[in-house]
Structure formats: structure tokens, C-alpha cells
Structure 1
Amino acid sequence: MIDTTGTHHVRLTVTDIARSRAFYGDVLGFPIAAESPGSPDDPVVRNDPMQLFGGVVFQANGMLLGLRPVAPATDRFDADRVGLDHLSFTVPSRDDLVAAAARLAAAGIEHGEITEMADFGIAILAFFDPDGIHLELTSPL
């Protein structure tokens, strides 16, 4: 086995950096760790990892979450295709799920009910980002 010490970062491909930046920053409240100084409309920036591909990186639950704005505006996420199914962030308690559901609702973000999965010792709250990427918040029971 390769000896890893955790997840360093996840980068999501998005269609509209301003919309996604507002969702992850304003709605979910993730602080920005780094942001591209260049425009994602510039092909050189969009292909340069040192310029974060024109995107932004958030600090999220002890890991980095990057957004790369290179998908066509008409593209939508599909969990039934090869690749990412969903991304789940841990919150400390079920009460935090309740508070998150209220925050999502106040922002006009549709979400599921809090689902207790007793066999796994967790509760989850599912919702989608602006590109339809399936996200969850997970708490211990």
C-alpha cells in the first residue's frame, strides 16, 4: 500500500467561476486560500497550473478545494459517468446539519432531508452546486 497521510486537495471543473466562487465562498462559507491573478478567458491562464487555471482554491475542512473554470457553459455534471460521484464534507454534529440546511434554504439552495444512516454511524444532508455536482455534509450520529 502507498503510505498516504490524507487528502491534500480536490479540484472541480466548473462552468462559471464567479457563480461557483459565490456558492462555495458565500453560501458554504469556505475561505479563499488562493485565487488566480489572471482571467479564465485567457487561454494561457486556463492552461497554467501556476495561475490556478484561472480558478480559485478554498480551504475546506482541512483540505484544499479548487475550482477550475474550463467547462463549456452548457455542460452539466453527471454522477453516472466515470469520475466523481459526489463529494462529502464532514461537520461536527447533527445540529450542524440542521444549521446548514437552514443556511442552504435561506440562500435558495434546494437540499434533501437529513438522512440518518445508523448502520454507518452517520447522518447526511445532500445538495448540488451550481453545476449540478452532488455534494453532501456528513456528521457522526
Structure 2
Amino acid sequence: MKLAGIHHVAIIASDYGRSKRFYVDVLGLEVVAEAYREARDSWKLDLRLADRTQLELFSFPAPPPRLSRPEACGLRHLAFRVADLDAARAHLRAHGVDCEPVRVDEYTGRRFSFFADPDGLPLELYEG
């Protein structure tokens, strides 16, 4: 088997409207499709990044909480590649999003910084 790339990442939001505004208005992802699934009382929003990778945003009634610290077992975080880390961090701060201090990857020499989505999901900006 040869994997060709990542097609999408799926996220379940506790407050669909709040997360939709964050991913669309703050992070600038493009809306591809949005559907309400009545049988599940659930919204599904398909979003796309510039490289055509997709993010699926779901809502479900009363989703259980999940550990989201980067050191918890399971998916650690979602990283977005940016050309200019300083500009991306300034954009987030202008929208009231706190970013951790810039760090440098000791192996690649690339700069990165963590921030969180409205549900505390750890997200990363990776310059390069």
C-alpha cells in the first residue's frame, strides 16, 4: 500500500457555530459544503485549505469531553504550514487567539508556535 497524502482531518465541536466562525473567519478555510443530518441531529461542514487538504467539522448532541493536551495518548495536535509565522501569529492575536511563544524545531531549524481552537484542541503553526 502507498498512501498518497492526507485527505481530511475530522473535528467534533462542542459549539458548532463558534467553531465554524473560528475555522472560516479566523483561520480562513474555504467552505466546500455544509449539511444538517437530521437523523443524527448533527451538522457537517467540509472545509478546504489552500493545498486542497480538507477539514471536516462536526456537531453532535452532548459530545463527551476528550483529553486534548498535546501529551495525551492519541492524536497529539494538528499542524498548519505557513509561509510567515510572525504574520500568522499577529493575525491570530488580532482575532483574540493566544499563541504560545515561538519555538525552533531542534532537528529542522524551523520555527513553530502552538495555539488552540475554541474547544482547546491543540493546533500548531509550522513555518516552511
Please give the TM-score of this superposition, normalised by the length of structure 1: 0.79
Q: Residue in 1 aligned with 2:79?
A: 88
Q: Percent identity?
A: 33
User: Secondary structure in 1 aligned to 2:115?
Assistant: strand
Give ranges in structure 2 of 5+ residues lacking alignment: none
Paired residues in the alignment total 126
User: Secondary structure in 2 aligned to 1:75?
Assistant: coil
User: Secondary structure in 2 aligned to 1:108?
Assistant: coil
User: Are 2:52 and 1:62 aligned?
Assistant: yes
Please give the TM-score of this superposition, normalised by the length of structure 2: 0.86
User: Secondary structure in 1 aligned to 2:20?
Assistant: helix
Q: What amino acid does structure 1 have at the position aligned with 2:32?
A: A
Alignment of 1:1-141 (within 5 A): 2-36=1-35, 38=36, 42=38, 44-46=39-41, 53-60=42-49, 61-70=51-60, 72=62, 75=65, 77-79=67-69, 80-92=71-83, 96-140=84-128
Calculate the aligned-residue CA RMSD, in Å.
2.0
Structure ranking higher in helix proportion: 1
Structure ranking higher in strand proportion: 2
Give ranges in structure 1 of 5+ residues lacking alignment: 47-52
| 1:91 shift after superposition | 1.4
